[in-house]
Homo-oligomer: A and B are copies of this chain.
Amino acid sequence: MTGRRRSALDEARAIALLERALKSSARGRRIELGIGDDAAVVVPGTERLVFTIDACVEHVHFDRRWLSLGDLGWRALMAAVSDLAAMGARPLCALSNLGTPAAITASELARLGRGQGAAAAAIGCPVVGGNISRGDVLSITTAVLGETARPLLRSGARPGEELWLIGELGLAACGLALLRKKRRPRSRSGALAQARALKRCIVAWRRPNALIAAGVELGQRASAGIDVSDGLGADALHLARSSAVRIVVEADRLRRAMAPELAIAAGELDRDPLELMLAGGEDYALLSTGEKRRRPRSARRIGRVERGQGAWLDREGDLTPLVSGFDHLQAGE
């Protein structure tokens, strides 16, 4: 981890405490050199390398009123690693670029690092280096390197295949909406199920999980895949465009894939839970396509692939275009 362009004292201190916070995660056998030189050194394998980058920026992707710095570190890493899951790849290691306001304290930085480190340990993706620079707002940019024998692209979907979902949809969007409305789980008696549902949604937004194992299985079984970060509608459209097919989400099947907690929590917000499933991003579920006989056990069929174009919702035979997903910029965080 280099810390260029920071004052000398801050730099040394910041790097030392991040190194400490991230150390427990940096146990990859393939990592020959981690934090502390000009770059990290990794032992190559024989599989394809998969390489991706993602950013979490304050006031754009998050607001510190709604999550702790530990949550932020966790989320930033998991969101980046999720792109590997979408490609059917396993993570090798990550680099993290922190932009920090001048006012950030050592203990805040350490909490952020521990959140990253916890996610890195949970997902098997050591943070092997990075960079720190000053910024007006807090930001984390994470680059991730992974590998897979057979990358799962967006472009392989074929008419006649099924549309599959692995993971939950809508919980994170519901959790964020609850936080914005300051609806916290209450523990009044008789409302335990409700409190649990709200809590599950909030945790889904604050501490998402990249579905690496599921992605690896899809890499062997699916024809195309993407992770749902922009929302089911927007990401289904990405699949449809890349594969030059029509993707149809079937409302009744989608409803059957609804988490019971979502139905409860959406009621608290007077929102249609199906709408949250369609538009909500950031659960980092995996959307994929494939032949019926190859569907993994953990995947639920939520639609079909047809000749044509676009992403559509089928409500009992009535087809309407799926609107664009949750937009972080226009949502006015």
Report which A residues bind B (CB closer than 8 A). Answer: 2, 4-8, 32-33, 36-55, 57, 59-61, 83-84, 86-87, 89, 93, 95-97, 99, 128-131, 133-137, 139, 141, 143, 145-147, 151, 153-155, 226-227, 229-230, 234, 242, 281, 324, 327-330
Contact = CB atoms under 8 A, between A and B. Distances in A.
18 contacts: A2-B83, A4-B281, A7-B327, A33-B153, A37-B155, A38-B83, A39-B89, A39-B146, A40-B52, A41-B50, A41-B87, A42-B50, A44-B46, A51-B95, A53-B130, A57-B99, A95-B143, A143-B143
Give the oligomeric copy count.
2
Closest 3 pairs (CB-CB, A-B): A143-B143, A39-B52, A5-B328
A60 B136 CA distance: 9
A8 B136 contact: no
Residue of A8, A38, A57, A146 with most chain B CB atoms under a 10 A cut-off: A38
Contact of A53 (B37, B96, B139): B96
Contacts of A146: 39
A55 B57 CA distance: 14
Given A51-B39, A96-B53, A329 B128 contact: no
A8 B324 contact: yes
B327 A8 contact: yes
Given A48-B41, A151-B41, A53 B97 contact: yes
Contact of A42 (B46, B48, B135, B234): B48
B133 A61 contact: yes
A130 B54 CA distance: 8
B230 A129 contact: no
Contact of A6 (B50, B147, B329): B329
Given A4-B229, A48-B32, A131 B41 contact: no
